[in-house]
Structure 1
């Protein structure tokens, strides 16, 4: 009931049922059978005529629809109907005849109503009378009537709600198709005027976003590329500095600038697309990353690695996971890698033993050139783009990354947890044809 379509449908159904209910109530009041007290008068006059005929010319009574019996008709006696008919006979009795006594009974559960009238000379006049009671299946008819109203109003309301909420569905669908580059495919500009206006606005917004992204990528790529020439000249000049310590500082700063330029260009390349996706054994990839980092002197430990297969670009995914593991090994005093299955998702957990990240800064870790401690620039390598590049790659292949601080029961820091999730390519975790 939280969606706009459900609310519109509920409102329309309630409105239709209320109107139809009031109309049904008014119709039932207007078409209700009249009160027997006022409608039984003609029946009473007919009984007077038949009784007089039975007393004067009994032979012609059968043709008039009655008969003379020695006792009243059998069956269930209807007290209320008998009372109504006796009152009517009193009101309609022709002078100087005294009021007649009548008993109304029913022959069986579904039989007709019979009026038994006491005759002056003895015996009883038995004649059928109309039944003013409503039909026995009146509740079934009412239930069918209300059911048809409910089904019809529900169908009409759902159709109207769907038409009215179409622009909202268009917005929702467009938002769900936004890619890693913050743009969305072109939305068809068809349908009612409101839908076409919404689609046109979305297409214009997407075009502007695409232009802004391309402009930013060109700017970063151009800046990274153009920095290489002056840095090369500065490196050549630094070689002529006679003071070894001063020359070392210059070369270290230039190396850091070169690393920043390379990282910026790499980030733009990842945003532009990178390599295509293919089935990839994630546990083997993590083994390779751990082995390479150990060979370079980093402390990397492997935990339980489930044999899971994902669909991604091999080089790009390796670069992303290597950045995360290297970040943990460099800043966290060592990295521990685990791989498990969570439903249809493969989950990579990378833990370290470092001080973690301040809680007020943890939401900024994926921003380019972010550093939790700016003073660390002089002692720790890196340009601050590793996490940004990793997220760009993972989101391109339908994955996501989350970072959280680890703490013990007393709130003391235990390190940092980097959690990566990617879709598995098959229910068993391994792609068809890929050995376990």
Structure 2
């Protein structure tokens, strides 16, 4: 419900219903029915006047018709109780002893007021007002208001959906945006507005993709082109004295690591292999065995069977980078593989100094290195965490870093698991 379409619909429906309710209330006030006691007094006076004329024989024959007349018996029809009581009360208030009945005259468009005269005959005159409305008038008004509300809501919902479909299309497109930042082409079909929105989104996606690929190629080219001048500088450094040559070689090695890291970042963006289902616990075990074989202080504490869908080579590279960081900067790495509630996790703990909390949000920035690490004799370009997070998020995973309760850094990789038959 927290969408622009829902908000616009609710606003329009509420506005229209408020206007309808206000207009209905104003109509009820302005078109209020007359006071029935005054109407009863007028009808009682009218009936008394005609009764006096009949008693004196002064009722013209021209007034003898289907509405006004003298009858030998009580007119047929159903008695209207409220009107009968009201007019009888008015007759008594005027000092007349006659009593009348108001009946829904059979075959007549108006009710009649009939009363027995002194000679036993019945005098009937029209009531002079339309028959009373239905007894359930309140329900009729409520039904009318409900019909207005439902009809208004349906019309507004259809209109708003039609007008806001381009916005809804944009919202759905953004929601389907994958971790790699690519958008699937949208079908350019439907109403004119939807086709225009889909065409604009497709054009934007194409241009952004071209711009990103262009920037990636530029970074790759720059990293590759650095190799030639660095090679020349290495050759020239050979002619320097021993102390100066060592400084030059160290700086050139640092530049070489930066160039290699930049090229690996670009390669990870461009060379995206297809995903496949793999056993995460087996992959971690292979990485640990590989790193232990080259002399790194890494141990596998525990593993839980877990299957994930990922790019095998890229995920292996990310886990290897994080494990090497823990073993080199944190002195020793302890790795666990956990699996529960549809998620798998690779937890890497070390025994190092950890990361200052104020720098925790910057550790994923490219080429960023913490001072304590920078001063240590550990080679690196500050791209290991950036590359690892790029790989893991590209496989629908998460990478979290936090300081352990007893010191050291805890790196946690989270990935969704799949059920294999």
TM superposition score category, shorter chain reference: 0.7 to 0.9
Alignment correspondent of 1:110: none
- Structure 1 contact 66–127 (Cα < 8 Å) conserved: no
Is residue 2:299 matched to residue 1:298?
Answer: no
Alignment correspondent of 1:101: 98
- Structure 1 contact 357–405 (Cα < 8 Å) conserved: yes
In structure 1, what is the Cα distance between the partners aligned to 2:117 and 2:48? Answer: 11
Alignment correspondent of 1:38: 39
**Per-residue deviation, 1:44:** 6.6
- Structure 1 contact 41–88 (Cα < 8 Å) conserved: no
Alignment correspondent of 1:209: 208
Alignment correspondent of 2:18: 18
- Structure 1 contact 290–302 (Cα < 8 Å) conserved: yes
Gaps of 5+ in 1: 92-97, 108-112, 409-413
The alignment partner of 2:226 has SS state of: helix
- Structure 1 contact 50–66 (Cα < 8 Å) conserved: no
In structure 2, what is the Cα distance between the partners aligned to 1:114 and 1:328? Answer: 103
Is residue 2:90 matched to residue 1:87?
Answer: yes
**Per-residue deviation, 1:239:** 6.3
Alignment correspondent of 1:223: 222
The alignment partner of 1:360 has SS state of: helix
1:157-205: CA deviation from partner (whole Å, max 9, x where unpaired): 2233334434433443343344445453455677778767766665565
The alignment partner of 1:368 has SS state of: coil
In structure 2, what is the Cα distance between the partners aligned to 1:54 and 1:394? Answer: 109
**Per-residue deviation, 1:352:** 2.2
1:345/1:40 CA distance change after superposition, 3 Å: farther
Alignment correspondent of 1:95: none
In structure 1, what is the Cα distance between the partners aligned to 2:145 and 2:133? Answer: 18
1:382-403: CA deviation from partner (whole Å, max 9, x where unpaired): 2221111112212222222222
Is residue 2:408 matched to residue 1:394?
Answer: no
The partner residue of 2:371 within 363, 370, 373 is 373
TM-score (norm 1): 0.74
Alignment correspondent of 1:423: 416
The alignment partner of 2:118 has SS state of: coil
**Per-residue deviation, 1:312:** 0.9
Alignment correspondent of 2:317: 319
- Structure 1 contact 50–64 (Cα < 8 Å) conserved: no
1:388/1:77 CA distance change after superposition, 3 Å: closer
Deviating more after overlay: 188-197 vs 158-167: 188-197
Alignment correspondent of 2:8: 8
RMSD: 4.4
In structure 2, what is the Cα distance between the partners aligned to 1:348 and 1:67? Answer: 106
TM-score (norm 2): 0.77
- Structure 2 contact 72–121 (Cα < 8 Å) conserved: no
In structure 2, what is the Cα distance between the partners aligned to 1:121 and 1:55? Answer: 12
In structure 2, what is the Cα distance between the partners aligned to 1:405 and 1:175? Answer: 34
Within a 5 Å distance, the mapping from 1:122-201 to structure 2 comes to 132-186=131-185
- Structure 2 contact 348–412 (Cα < 8 Å) conserved: yes
- Structure 2 contact 91–99 (Cα < 8 Å) conserved: no
1:326-348: CA deviation from partner (whole Å, max 9, x where unpaired): 21222122223233345433233
- Structure 1 contact 33–132 (Cα < 8 Å) conserved: no
1:311-365: CA deviation from partner (whole Å, max 9, x where unpaired): 1111111111111122122212222323334543323322223222222322221
- Structure 2 contact 364–386 (Cα < 8 Å) conserved: yes
Is residue 2:382 matched to residue 1:384?
Answer: yes
1:247/1:30 CA distance change after superposition, 3 Å: closer
The alignment partner of 2:408 has SS state of: strand
Within a 5 Å distance, the mapping from 1:246-261 to structure 2 comes to 251-261=249-259
Deviating more after overlay: 300-309 vs 29-38: 29-38
Deviating more after overlay: 363-372 vs 302-311: 302-311
- Structure 1 contact 100–117 (Cα < 8 Å) conserved: no
Gaps of 5+ in 2: 58-65, 105-110
The partner residue of 1:310 within 308, 311, 314 is 308
1:105-132: CA deviation from partner (whole Å, max 9, x where unpaired): 899xxxxx99774643579889997895
1:185/1:376 CA distance change after superposition, 3 Å: same
The alignment partner of 1:361 has SS state of: helix
